[in-house]
Amino acid sequence: MTVMVAAALQGTGATARAACSRVLQVPVAPIGLGVTVMANGQVGGIYPDLLRHVASGEGCSLNFSVVPRARQELMFESGLSDILLPARRSPRRDQFGVFVPLIQSRAALVTLDRGTAHPPLPELQSLAELQQHHELRLAVVRGYDYGDAYQSLLSAMATQGRLQQATDPISLVRMLDAGMADLAIVAPTIVTGALRGDARLKAWLPRVQVSTVEELSWGESGVYLSNRSRLGAEDRHLLETALVQLAKSGAAWREFQRYYPEDTLRLSVRPR
């Protein structure tokens, strides 16, 4: 837990009381500044730091492990993980856990300026237009989910052979830079956060271009507590109560404001 997070959470009422019955399993994948992984394997970022504070206040212990995002999702669905974070709410995920929203987020069309040697991409107003431009190839991060319209688009693009799937945000940006895909669908904060966190790629930040479309609308994003793992009802209720209190405090939004410039947040993250 960082000093800044502790300060942001003062007054949320988290105090030490009944501890969780066992160590909680929390697989994570790098996702911009939301979840970071240092060279030594240390996990940090907005969401792990917030969760650490909540867990500490409730007397709970966490075991973070680093996995690809697609595996993180599978572990949650199969009951091998107690907590999924960060996660946008979706009907599929609701089958596997209890959701606690912390912020609102949205995905967007993200491109990387590749210079005058490459013709500009058409200005797209909708996902339907994207499908009609058969020359355009799409890249996404495997395991991300931005709703029904997003999933339908991925199915259509995969059928047409126009879909590339990356394992993480940095790989996604590299696909765009290498010309393996023309555009990506992702929350802009994920891309800019990943680039800011990599000294070798930080210079690419001015090349990132973002546009929104109606089908990629605002949705709730936060934390899922598993109902498939060995997370007992009492532990789940303990954590849910503490996370709801955290959400009401607005601490998550303040952390995003601390990490990201306002122009980036305006397009992809806002308070609940």
Burial (CB count within 10 angstroms: exposed 0-12, middle 13-18, buried 19+), residue 8 = buried
Residues 49 and 86 in one domain: yes
Instruction: Name the residue among 64, 59, 20 with its Cα closest to residue 237.
Output: 20
Contacts 24+ apart (CB under 8 A), 143-146: 143/29, 143/68, 143/69, 143/70, 143/71, 143/72, 143/73, 144/69, 144/107, 144/186, 145/88, 145/90, 145/92, 145/93, 146/88, 146/106, 146/107, 146/185, 146/187, 146/216, 146/219
Give the DSSP H or E segment for 105.
Answer: strand 97-105
Check whether residue 175 and residue 201 sit in a common domain: yes
Looking at residue 13, what is its pLDDT?
A: 45
Q: Domain boundary at 211, 234, 259, which?
A: 211
Q: Which of these, 28, 143, 24, lies nearest to 82 by C-alpha position?
A: 24
101 and 29 in a common domain: yes
For residue 247, the enclosing domain spans: 3-105+219-270
Contact of 20 with 45, CB cutoff 8 Å: no
- The count of structural domains within the chain is 2
| Per-residue pLDDT in tens (0 to 9) along the chain, 272 residues | 454 555 445 544 444 456 899 999 999 999 999 999 998 999 999 999 999 999 999 999 999 999 999 999 999 999 999 999 999 999 999 999 999 999 999 999 999 997 877 778 899 999 999 999 999 999 999 999 999 999 999 999 999 999 999 999 999 999 999 999 999 999 999 999 999 988 899 999 999 999 999 899 999 999 999 999 999 999 999 999 999 999 999 999 999 999 998 888 998 999 98
Q: Are residues 100 and 231 in the same domain?
A: yes
Residue 39 confidence (pLDDT): 86
Looking up residue 207, the CATH number of its domain turns out to be 3.40.190.10
Looking at the structure, do residues 31 and 80 belong to the same domain, yes or no?
yes
pTM of the shown model: 0.88
Which pLDDT does position 263 carry in this prediction? 84
Domain boundary among 184, 211, 238: 211
* Residues 191/164, Cβ–Cβ less than 8 Å: no
H/E segment holding residue 112 = strand 108-112
Do 243 and 189 have their domain in common?
no
State how far the alpha carbon of 6 is from the alpha carbons of 10, 90, 94, 211, 265, in Å.
6, 30, 30, 35, 22
Query: Does residue 113 sit in the same domain as residue 195?
Result: yes
Residue 244 and residue 203 in one domain: no
202 and 245 together in one domain: no
Residue where a domain terminates, one of 171, 186, 211: 211
Judgement on whether residues 98 and 115 belong to the same structural domain of the protein: no
Q: 20 burial class (0-12, 13-18, 19+ CB within 10 angstroms)?
A: buried
Same-domain pairing of 201 and 231: no
Structure tokens at 224: 């899922």
36/95 same-domain check: yes
Nearest to 102 by CA among 216, 217, 243, 242: 243
Q: Is the peptide bond before 91 cis (omega within 30 degrees of 0)?
A: no
> What's the rounded Cα separation, in Å, for the pair 101 and 131?
32
